[in-house]
Amino acid sequence: MAKLIFKYTDDLLEDCREASEIEFTVPDDMNINEFKVICVRLASSLGYHSNSIQKAFGDLDFGEEKDEELKQLLHELNTRRNPTKS
């Protein structure tokens, strides 16, 4: 496992009541999409607004994979409701 760590190093933050260190333990074999999700979570945990995150990272729906999953789910639901149709 690997660690992705954000840590403030400024001495002025001693009186700050916000997070001074955020650490994620992540798998060593993450793909780029999984890494992007971790970066979005880090940005969110640092307090960035969701609109800023969306502008910086774009859509987190990874395209055809989700489309295929949705099509498969709809097909399964339709098959259960109408067992005589294929």
Domain boundaries, the chain: 2-60
Contacts for 43-50: CB closer than 8 Å, 24+ residues apart: 45/19, 46/6, 46/19, 46/22, 47/18
Look at the block and give the residue holding tokens 């400024």.
10
What number is the average pLDDT over the span 40-67?
80
pLDDT of residue 45: 85
Between these two residues, 19 and 40, which has the higher pLDDT value? 40
pLDDT of residue 66: 63
